[in-house]
């Protein structure tokens, strides 16, 4: 491991004194950043066997350049770039870029080591070398963002100054509805925060979960009001105090940022450290974590969603790059030739010195530099990198073609195909959906795993062994003149193939899968993947049930007040006529109510909670009688308790007006008659 383990059991006071945290002198320090140029996973495998992820082109610009531009624009003056896998390529790229020029306002230091295997190793090395002197920005090298974090930085420094350095991290989130194209389902999260202080009380990823569990000490904290949020996109941008690196050194269980966040929240009372959040409404902040996100971010770039980072801006100051921007978001680099009858419909970016034949149709695509495209080529959501040759009569749909690939004539690339570097396909061939082709043989991965050489796409892959293998290509897989090996085909029923597909393209954005709700069953496999707002409500209802069931064991009143909030949507929808089916939640939860609402005081508190909600929603007063009637018929509330609540003294005019509501009056009269009949019968 890269970290050193010589600092143990340091107190918060010692950490504060060690690195000048939180004083006036700190604000005079230049803002620093730690940029992780390794992904520490195989998400882009096998593409990243030839090129590190941060150097993959996004709109014909390396991804890391977007990250450095974001850091520079936000006021960072010194950036430490940590890299391990293919560090030489990253170093050469940065040394040739504007970031390493003497005139750069952001001084970039490149630090390499073969020992980095995780974020934890990097931060332990930061601590060992004593690199950070004050608050710093922690970010991965595949983050594309134009958000302004200056306000979040000021709030972070203010908290540390007023709260004696207990706040060690501020996580940057952006509001984004579930199912939005910029959200990756495998990164979906639920965050619980103190509404006033924005302190994070709970942080949990929701991928594959049907139920959510919350620690009960969260509800016993000093927080008067907290929020449970599922509408946040994690930008993977964090503002960190110098203590963060020291805490990673003290605990070798911290390998990822998620490990760190969980550890701080679990041991909050012991360590005395807090993590806060800052939610941004404007701006763009996304991590390119898989090819599905690559597709999404590339489309957003062409459609100018993260202005001023636009293709024609040339923010990297490349001398050879220049392009023009025209309507329908069409960008043409210098030296581009377009054949007769060819159409660039919309959202198209074409690099320099690229030749396009006749009668081609191109839409929602990015084409790199020095490419040659033949006649009658149809490109839709195609990402063509540099020096690619495509013959005539080729169709490409939502696929990636890496550098130096060749596609022969009469070839069809169906959705989510990936041609890694130097692959040749065709002629007269069709690749099934989801096929991944690489010049590296699949058996090479198994040997690397056995030797523990390829721990990630950021580790040594044993190139010498690969060179010794004889390259024999199967024409049935890549065509008669093809060159390459199949890594994943959609017609193979293999778990490993499915895992590879998920790594490259990510999980399918379908919130309806594995749903227990009767109203959320998918209509079919071919339905659109992005849910409607109505489906968001259904999903929120299902998640809410699990939340409330866990809360209710300890705080009966919480569930009543929260349930009223959930009922607000159905009440609005049927303000005139409310049917029993709209109260299915009440019926589903009735066993829980019966188990925990037993004492007279519990009944009264529940009824008061209902009253409190309806007092704020005067338009729905008529519905209160129906709610109480439903609870009565489910034998959750007793008539004696309802009458007792109704007859107790009121302190406000609205309470007295509510009790005079015609529907509520009829219910009370009916209950009184029922009670009298019962007494007479006895």
Out of 3.40.50.880, 1.25.40.180, 1.10.540.10, 1.25.40.10, which CATH number does the structure's domain 555-566+576-680 have?
A: 1.25.40.180
Least confident of 207-216, 327-336, 499-508: 499-508
Least confident of 208-217, 252-261, 547-556, 630-639: 547-556
Average pLDDT, stretch 123-134? Answer: 91
- Partners of 406 in beta bridges: 389, 424
| Residue 149 reports pLDDT greater than 70 | yes
Residue 538, pLDDT score: 35
Average pLDDT, stretch 307-331? Answer: 84
pLDDT band, very low/low/confident/very high, at 241 (cuts 50, 70, 90): very high
Question: Best-predicted range by mean pLDDT among 7-21, 38-52, 369-383, 624-638?
Answer: 369-383
Question: Best-predicted range by mean pLDDT among 340-354, 480-494, 499-513?
Answer: 340-354
| Residue 559 reports pLDDT greater than 90 | no
| Residue 519 reports pLDDT greater than 70 | no
Task: Return residue ranges of the chain for CATH 2.160.10.10.
Answer: 321-438
| Residue 589 reports pLDDT greater than 80 | no
Residue among 261, 232, 254 nearest 168 (CA): 261
Residue 471, pLDDT score: 65
What pLDDT, in 10s, does the model give residues 396-430? 999 999 999 999 999 999 998 999 999 999 899 99
**What DSSP string describes 544-609?**
HHHHHHHHHTT-HHHHHHHHHHHHHHHHHHTSS---GGGGHHHHHHHHHHHHH--SHHHHHHHHHH
| Residue 445 reports pLDDT greater than 70 | no
Least confident of 15-29, 93-107, 170-184, 453-467: 453-467
Is-contact 328 311, C-beta < 8 A? no
321-438 belongs to which homologous superfamily? Hexapeptide repeat proteins (2.160.10.10)
| Residue 39 reports pLDDT greater than 60 | yes
Chain-wide mean pLDDT for the chain?
A: 76
Phi, psi of 317 (to 5 degrees): 60, 40
Phi, psi of 395 (to 5 degrees): -125, 130
Residue among 441, 41, 58 nearest 286 (CA): 58
Task: Return residue ranges of the chain for CATH 1.25.40.180.
Answer: 555-566+576-680
Separation between Cα atoms, residue 245 and residue 132, nearest integer Å? 9
Least confident of 188-202, 376-390, 597-611: 597-611
Neighbours of 574 (CB within 10 A): 12
Using the structure block, give the residue that is written with the tokens 């009688």: 625
Domain 32-287 in CATH 3.30.1200.10? The answer is no
Average pLDDT, stretch 29-35? Answer: 91
Residue 163, pLDDT score: 79
Residue 301, class by beta-carbon neighbours within 10 Å (0-12 exposed, 13-18 middle, 19+ buried)?
buried
CA atoms within 13 A on the CB side of 654: 10
- Partners of 79 in beta bridges: 33, 108
What pLDDT, in 10s, does the model give residues 279-304? 988 888 899 988 888 999 999 999 99
Residue 540, pLDDT score: 38
Average pLDDT, stretch 462-484? Answer: 71
Tell me the whole-structure pTM to 2 decimals: 0.70
Query: What is the separation, in whole angstroms, between the first and last Cα of the chain?
Result: 80
Q: For residue 57, give the DSSP letter.
A: E
Residue 658, pLDDT score: 78
Residue 223, pLDDT score: 65
Task: Return residue ranges of the chain for CATH 3.90.550.10.
Answer: 32-287
Q: Which helix (H) or strand (E) holds 191?
A: strand 189-194
Average pLDDT, stretch 314-342? Answer: 86
Sheet of 136-140, strands arranged across: 107-112, 78-83, 32-36, 136-140, 232-240, 167-175, 274-280
Tokens of 103: 């005139």
| Residue 372 reports pLDDT greater than 70 | yes
Phi, psi of 421 (to 5 degrees): -60, 135
């Amino acid at each position: 491991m890269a970290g050193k383990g010589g600092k143990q059991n340091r107190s918060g006071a010692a950490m504060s004194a060690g690195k000048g945290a939180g004083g006036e002198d700190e604000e005079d320090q230049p803002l620093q950043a730690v940029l992780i140029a390794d992904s520490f996973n195989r998400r882009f495998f096998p593409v990243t066997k030839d090129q590190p992820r941060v150097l993959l082109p996004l709109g014909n610009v390396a991804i890391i350049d977007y990250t450095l531009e974001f850091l520079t624009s936000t006021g960072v003056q010194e950036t430490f770039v940590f890299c391990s896998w293919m560090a030489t390529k990253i170093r050469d790229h940065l040394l040739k870029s504007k970031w390493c020029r003497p005139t750069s306002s952001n001084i970039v230091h490149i630090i390499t080591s073969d020992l980095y295997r995780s974020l934890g190793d990097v931060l332990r090395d930061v601590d060992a070398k004593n690199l950070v002197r004050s608050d710093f920005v922690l970010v991965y090298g595949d983050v594309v963002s134009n958000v302004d974090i200056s306000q979040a930085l000021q709030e972070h420094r203010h908290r540390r100054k007023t709260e004696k350095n207990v706040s060690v991290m501020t996580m940057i989130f952006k509001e984004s509805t579930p199912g939005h194209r910029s959200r990756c389902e495998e990164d979906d999260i639920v965050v619980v925060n103190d509404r006033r202080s924005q302190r994070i009380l709970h942080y949990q990823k929701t991928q594959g979960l049907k139920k959510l569990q919350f620690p009960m000490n969260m509800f016993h904290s000093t927080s008067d009001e907290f929020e449970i949020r599922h509408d946040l996109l994690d930008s993977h941008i964090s503002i960190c105090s110098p203590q963060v690196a020291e805490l990673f050194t003290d605990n070798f269980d911290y390998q990822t940022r998620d490990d760190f966040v969980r550890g701080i929240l679990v041991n909050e009372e012991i360590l005395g450290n807090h993590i806060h959040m800052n939610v941004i409404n404007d701006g763009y902040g996304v991590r390119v974590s898989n090819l599905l996100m690559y597709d999404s971010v590339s489309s957003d770039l062409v459609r100018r969603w993260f202005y001023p980072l636009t293709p024609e801006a040339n923010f990297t100051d490349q001398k050879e790059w220049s392009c023009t921007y025209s309507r329908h978001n069409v960008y043409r680099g210098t030296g581009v030739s377009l054949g007769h009858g060819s159409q660039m419909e919309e959202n198209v970016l074409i690099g320099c010195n690229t030749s396009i034949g006749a009668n081609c149709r191109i839409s929602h695509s990015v084409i790199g530099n020095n490419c040659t495209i033949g006649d009658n080529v149809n490109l839709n959501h195609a990402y063509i990198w540099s020096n690619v040759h495509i013959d005539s009569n080729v169709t490409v749909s939502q696929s990636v073609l890496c550098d130096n690939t060749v596609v022969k004539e009469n070839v069809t690339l169906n959705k989510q195909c990936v041609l890694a570097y130097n692959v040749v396909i065709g002629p007269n061939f069709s690749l099934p959906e989801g096929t991944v082709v690489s010049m590296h043989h699949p058996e090479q991965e198994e040997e690397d795993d056995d030797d523990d050489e390829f721990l990630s796409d950021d580790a040594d892959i044993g190139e010498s062994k690969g060179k010794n293998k004889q390259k024999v290509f199967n024409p049935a897989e890549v065509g008669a003149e093809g060159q390459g090996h199949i890594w994943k085909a959609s017609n193979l029923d293999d778990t490993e193939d499915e895992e590879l597909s998920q790594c490259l393209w990510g999980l399918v954005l379908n919130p309806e899968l594995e749903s227990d709700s009767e109203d959320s069953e998918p209509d079919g496999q071919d339905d659109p993947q992005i849910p409607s707002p109505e489906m968001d409500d259904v999903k929120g209802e299902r998640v809410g049930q699990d939340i409330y069931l866990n809360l209710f064991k300890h705080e009966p009143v919480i569930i009543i007040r929260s349930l009223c909030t959930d009922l607000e949507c159905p009440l609005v929808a049927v303000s005139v006529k409310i049917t029993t089916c709209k109260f299915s939640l009440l019926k589903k939860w009735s066993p829980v109510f019966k188990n925990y609402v037993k004492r007279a005081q519990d009944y009264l508190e529940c009824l008061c909670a209902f009253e409190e909600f309806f007092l704020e929603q005067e338009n729905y007063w008529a519905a209160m009688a129906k709610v109480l009637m439903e609870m009565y018929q489910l034998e959750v509330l007793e008539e004696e308790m309802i009458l007792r609540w109704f007859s107790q003294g009121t302190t406000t005019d609205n309470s007295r007006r509510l009790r005079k509501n015609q529907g509520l009056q009829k219910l009370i009269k009916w209950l009184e008659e029922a009670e009298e009949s019962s007494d007479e019968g006895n």
